[in-house]
Amino acid sequence: MSTRLRPLLIVIICALIAGASGYVALDRWQRATIFSVELGESRWWREPAPGTEIFDIKLAGNGTVRAWYLAHTDPKAPTVLYLHGSRWNLNGSVFRIERWREMGFSVLAIDYRGFGDSSPLLPSQASATEDAVAALQELERRQPHPSRRYVYGHSLGGAIAVAVAARTAQPEFAGLILESTFTNIQDMIPTTGYSAIPGLNLLITQPFDSVASIKQVRSPILFLHGTNDRIVPHTMSDLLFTAAQGRSNTVQQLVKIEGASHSGASRSGLAYEEAIKDFVGLTSSPSHPAAIYQARH
């Protein structure tokens, strides 16, 4: 090698190493920021509801996913896969899990790796989606009837639910229920304290692009969003609903809950419960008294 080319080669190699290291650091920062795993206890932290079965789902590679299963007293009840949002593990979701059972469901809920008693890991879009796919397989084992299987995601859990549903060639469950879900990470940047970072929207490593991938979902979808959501603008559900309208041979519904906060829709009254029961066919006379509107397609 020419002695003149050697220094140039060294510079190029150093630049590539610096670039790769920078990407890894950026990726880790985004993963930590998006999932924001809290190691402490929220003020609504609770032990699992009485009768909850606690077990681990072993992944094909390495690691386990901690799962809770809360069975309904009716063996014919539909079963929902519960995917929680960022920050808190399953102990912070007990109030919502119990609400689902009150509405007539058995509930299978998981902590993604990096949360609770699942394997320690800095979560990512890929790892959380893998965890949810494994949980969907467990849902199929516990509820063999596809017409009684549903997938529910709250906030970030909704984005994970869309990612799982979009990669399913045929509907393996009867419906997808998304609550307080955002369109994608890029659209969320202006709502955070990171909006002033120049070019950040061009450096997304964890896109969670639900507004694009939702077009690949083949099952019916119910969108729920509170109008007083100060974390995820409720207009993002409008955008997701519009994106889903391009699908063929399936339906979607959008229900806005008047005055409900990001995490408070499930405790907002009859509108929430009736929207879900109407969607899954558990009631024949929906009224949605607190919904500002209901859109169907």
**Residue-level pLDDT at 251:** 87
Instruction: Round to whole Å and give the CA distance between 163 and 167.
Output: 7
- Going from N- to C-terminal start, the domains of the chain cover 36-296
CA-based nearest residue to 81, from 107, 52, 57: 107
**Residue-level pLDDT at 39:** 80
Count of C-beta atoms within a 10 Å radius of residue 185 = 23
What is the C-alpha end-to-end distance of the chain, expressed in Å? 67
pTM of the model: 0.89
Q: What is the DSSP string of the chain?
A: --TTHHHHHHHHHHHHHHHHHHHHHHHHHHHHHHH----S--TT--PPPTT-EEEEEEPSSS-EEEEEEE--SSTT--EEEEE--SS--GGGSHHHHHHHHHTT-EEEEEPPTTSTTSPP----HHHHHHHHHHHHHHHHHH---GGGEEEEEETHHHHHHHHHHHT-SS--SSEEEEES--S-HHHHGGGSTTTTSTTGGG--S----HHHHGGG--S-EEEEEETT-SSS-THHHHHHHHHHTT-SS--EEEEEETT--TTTGGGS-HHHHHHHHHHHTS-S----TTEEEEEE-
Question: What is the fold, at CATH topology level, of the domain defined by 36-296?
Answer: Rossmann fold (3.40.50)
Count of C-beta atoms within a 10 Å radius of residue 59 = 17
pLDDT tens-place values along the chain, 297 residues long: 445 444 433 333 344 344 556 789 999 999 999 999 988 766 777 899 999 999 999 998 889 999 999 999 999 999 999 999 999 999 999 999 999 999 999 999 999 999 999 999 999 999 999 999 999 999 999 999 999 999 999 999 999 999 999 986 666 899 999 999 999 999 999 998 888 888 888 889 999 999 999 999 999 999 999 999 999 999 999 999 999 998 877 889 999 999 999 998 988 778 999 999 999 987 644 444 445 556 666
**Residue-level pLDDT at 167:** 87
